[in-house]
Chains A and B, each alone.
Chain A
Amino acid sequence: MTRIYDASADATTRADGGSLLQVRDLRVEFSSSSGRVHAVNGVSFDVQAHELLGIVGESGCGKSVTSLAILRLLPKPAGRITGGTVTFDGTDLLHLGDEAMRDLRGRQVAMIFQDPMTSLNPVTTIGEQLVEVVQAHTKLRRKAAEQRAIETLELVGLPNAKARLKNFPHQFSGGMRQRVMIAMALIMGPKLLIADEPTTALDVTIQAQILDLIRRVAQETGAAVMLITHDLGVVAGMTQRIQVMYAGHIVETATTDELFAHPRHPYTVGLLRSIPRLDEGGSRELLPIEGLPPDLTRLPAGCPFAPRCAWAIERCLTENPPLGLPGSAEPATGVALGTHLAACWNPATDDEARAGVPANGHISAVEAAGRERAAAAATALGVEP
C-alpha cells in the first residue's frame, strides 16, 4: 500500500524535533440552558509521530470534546474554545485560516467516530463518500479517485471492494461499516488518526477485529493514533501511552504498562478495578466507582474527583491538584514523554491499588467528607436542577 503511505509525510522530519501534535492548556466551554458547561479545563498533552496514545475516561469527561476541538469541529454556536493552543506539525491550528483548516481535516488529521451507522450518510453510496474525500483534497480524476478508494477498502479488509462501492451504508454490517469509516479516514494517508470510541457501538466479537485493524493500518501507513475510549480494556494491548481524563482534566498519564502496573490516581484505580481481568483469576472482586461525575456547570473548587474518592483528604476539597510526579505538589514541566504523572494530593500506593481501597485509618474521615460533599452536591442539584 505504498500509494497510501507517503514517505515524505513522515512527521519525524519536522524542524523543531518536537511532537506531531502539541496541545497546551486547552479549554472548551459549551453554553447550555442550565449555564456554561466547562467541558475541557486546561488539558495539555503531546502525540508523537507513529505513536498510539490512549485517552480514557467516562462519558462526559471531555475526551471527545478535546478531539473535536483539535479539528475545530465543535458544534456551533454552543461550543467554544476559550483558551490554550493546539499545534500540529508546527502549525497553530487555532489560528489557521478556514480554508487551510478544511484542507488539513481528512488529509493530515482524520477521525473515526463511534457509531458507523449514524456517521455515514445514509443516502449516498460509500464509493461516493470515499471519492469525495479524495476530490476535496486533490485534483485526481474520478477514475483515479475510485481506484484509490478500492485500494483503501482492500487495505481495511473489505471483501469485494470494487463491487461494494455502489452499496449504501445500510447494506453493510456494523463491523463492515466501521471498516468503511476507517478507510474513509485513511484514504488521504493522514499523519494523525483520531479514533473516538471506534468499537463502542459494535458487537463484542467484532471489537477485537476492528482494534487489530486500526493497529495494523496505523503501522502500515505510519499514522499516529489517538484512541479515545471509556474502556481501559480496549487500550490495554494496543497503545504505548495512556492518559486518563476526568471532568475535563487529565488526571493521570503514563506508559500503558506502567499505568496498569502502578496506577496512582484513585480514579484510575477505580477504573482498573471495574474491569474484569482474567490474569488475576476469580479471587478479585469487581468494584464499581460509586457516584456520578461532577456537574460541569459548577465545578468544585477542589479536586473534581474528591466527592467520589475514598482517598480524599482535607486538601482535596479545597485545592485542585496539578498534574505532576506522583506525590509531588509541583506541576511537572519539561519531563520526558511517558513519565508517570498524576494529579492527586494523596495517590494510592501499589498495595492500596491492588486492594482497591485505601489503607486502614484513612477510611472513615475521608468517607465522611465525601458523604458531606455528595449531600451538598445533591442539594444543589435538587434546588436548581
Chain B
Amino acid sequence: MLKFIVRRLLLLIPILLGLSLLMVVFLHMLPGDPCGAILGEHSTPANIARCQHGLGLDKPLYQQYLDYMAGVIHGDFGVSATNKVSVTTSFLTRFPATIELTVAAMFLAIGIGIPLGVAAAKRQYSLFDNFATVASLIGISIPIFFLGLLLQYVFGVWLHWLPTAGRYDLGTFSYDHAGTNFLLWESLVINRNPAEFLDVVRHLILPAVALGTIPLAVVARITRSAVLEVLSEDYVRTARAKGLTSKRIDDRHVLRNAMLPISTVIGLQTGLLLGGAVLTEQIFSWGGVGNWLFQAAVDKDFAVIQSGALILASIFVVVNLIVDVGYAYLNPRIRYQ
C-alpha cells in the first residue's frame, strides 16, 4: 500500500513540471500581450517596454520559466499585474470560500445521491425508480447557471427564504479580522455565535445546491447501475444462500462492491467541481478562487492565471491521488499487488 502511494506521488512530479512548463509556453504563445491589456489606452511603446521589463517578459522564455519555478519552490507564485497583491496571499484568502462551497456541494451529492441510487436500484422499474431516473437525467442536463438563476429567483426573489449572494450578511456581521476565512468554522467555533453560523449556512445553501446538483445526479445514476450490477453477481447469491440478513447482504456485499465504481465517479466529479465553481461563484457573488480566476482571465492578468491554474491543477491531481488511494483501500485486488 505504501509502495502504491509512493509510486503515485512520484508520478506527480512530471505532471506538475509539465503543467508549469505548459502554462508558461501556452500563455507566451497566445496572441495578445499582458502589458497591452494592463496599460489599456496608456500603451505607448515605451510604457509597454517598461512594463514588460518589470514583469520579466523581455527575458528569454527558458529564463522566465526558471525564474518562475525558483519562486514557486519558495512559495512565491508572483504578483497580480492588476492590483499588485501577491498571488499566494490572494489564493489563501479566497480558497477557504471555495473549499466550503465545494465540500458542501459534494456532501449533498454523496449524502443524497448514494441513498437515492440504492433505493432506485432496489425497486427497479418501480414508480420511484422511474421518477429518480427522470429526475437525475434532468439533473445532469440542467446547466449550473440556469439552475442557479432559478434558485435565486424562486427562493430569493419570490419566496424570500434564502439570501442569493455573498457568504454572509454584510450589514450584520463582519469578518475583516477573520483568521482562517472558513466562515462556518469562524462563526461556530471561534465566535460561538449561533445566529452568525445560521446566517453563514443560509448563504451557503443555494450555491451548494446549484453546484451539487450535477454531481448528485451523476452519483445517483452510477450508484443505481452499480448496485444493479452487483445484485446480479454470484457472490450476492452466495450471501443469500448463507442465510445472511438482507441488511448484512446490502452493507457488506452489495454496497462494498458497488462503492468501487461509485468512488471513481465521485473522484472525477470532485475534479470537475472546480470548473463548476467558477460559474457558481460568479452567479452567487461568492468570493472564492473561481471568482478570482475568472476576473484574472477577464483582466488578462497572466501571473494570476498561470499560478492559479497551476495551484488548482495540483489540487486536482492530489484529490485524484486521494481518490485512487481510497479506491485501492476498497479494492484488495489493487492493494495487494
Contact = CB atoms under 8 A, between A and B. Distances in A.
A123 B242 contact: no
A71 B241 contact: yes
Nearest to A187: B242
A191 interface: no
B329 to A, nearest CB: 10
B332 A133 contact: no
Contacts of B240: 73, 105
A110 B245 CA distance: 15
A104 interface: yes
B257 interface: yes
A73 B237 contact: yes
Interface residues of B, number: 24
Given A113-B234, A118-B235, A132 B257 contact: no
A136 B232 CA distance: 22
Contact of A118 (B233, B248, B333, B336): B233
A168 B238 contact: no
A107 B243 contact: yes
Given A105-B241, A133-B243, A123 B331 contact: yes
A184 B232 CA distance: 20
Interface string B233-261: 11101111111110010001100110010
Given A73-B241, A124-B256, A133-B242, A119 B332 contact: no
Contact of B242 (A75, A115, A118, A132): A132
B108 to A, nearest CB: 27
B238 to A, nearest CB: 5
A176 to B, nearest CB: 16
Contact of B252 (A110, A132, A137): A132
B330 interface: yes
A119 B244 contact: no
Contacts of B257: 121-123
Nearest to B230: A121
Given A123-B330, A123-B332, A124-B256, A133 B244 contact: yes
A122 B248 CA distance: 16
Interface string A94-114: 000000001111110011010
Nearest to A108: B243
Contacts of A371: none
A65 to B, nearest CB: 13
Give the residue among B235, B240, B242, B252 with the most A Cβ atoms within 10 A: B242
Interface of B is mostly: helix
A136 B235 contact: no
A132 B244 contact: yes
How many A residues are at the interface, by size bracket? 20 to 34
Nearest to B239: A121
A93 to B, nearest CB: 13
Nearest to B232: A75
A71 B232 CA distance: 17
A122 B257 CA distance: 8
Contact of B243 (A106, A113, A115, A128): A106
A119 B235 contact: yes
B234 A136 contact: no
A115 B233 CA distance: 11
A168 B234 contact: no
Contacts of A181: 238
A168 B336 CA distance: 9
A63 to B, nearest CB: 16
Nearest to B244: A136
B237 A104 contact: no
Interface string A54-81: 0000000000000000010101000000
B244 to A, nearest CB: 5
Contact of A102 (B232, B243, B331, B336): B243
Contacts of B238: 111, 113, 119-121, 181, 184
A76 to B, nearest CB: 10
Interface in B140-172: none
Interface in A142-184: 168, 170-171, 181, 184
Nearest to A107: B243
Nearest to B254: A121
Nearest to A118: B234
Given A121-B253, A123-B332, A168-B336, A104 B235 contact: no
Nearest to A101: B243
B248 A132 contact: yes
Nearest to A72: B240
B243 A168 contact: no
Contacts of A105: 240-243
Contacts of A132: 242, 244, 248, 252
B332 A136 contact: no
A75 B240 CA distance: 11
Contact of B332 (A113, A118, A170): A170
Contacts of A136: 242-245, 248
Contacts of B237: 73, 113, 119
A105 B237 CA distance: 11
A168 B333 contact: yes
Given A120-B235, A123-B256, A111 B241 contact: yes
Contacts of A115: 234
A218 B256 CA distance: 33
A104 B244 CA distance: 10
Contacts of B253: 121, 124
17 contacts: A71-B241, A102-B243, A104-B243, A105-B241, A105-B242, A106-B243, A110-B242, A115-B234, A118-B234, A121-B239, A122-B331, A123-B256, A123-B260, A136-B242, A136-B243, A136-B244, A171-B336
By Cβ-Cβ distance, the 9 closest A-B pairs, closest first, are A106-B243, A105-B243, A118-B234, A106-B242, A168-B332, A111-B241, A121-B235, A119-B234, A119-B238
Given A75-B232, A118-B234, A181-B238, 19 more contacts: A73-B241, A102-B245, A104-B243, A105-B243, A106-B243, A111-B241, A113-B234, A113-B238, A119-B234, A121-B253, A122-B331, A123-B332, A124-B252, A132-B242, A132-B244, A132-B248, A133-B243, A136-B243, A170-B333
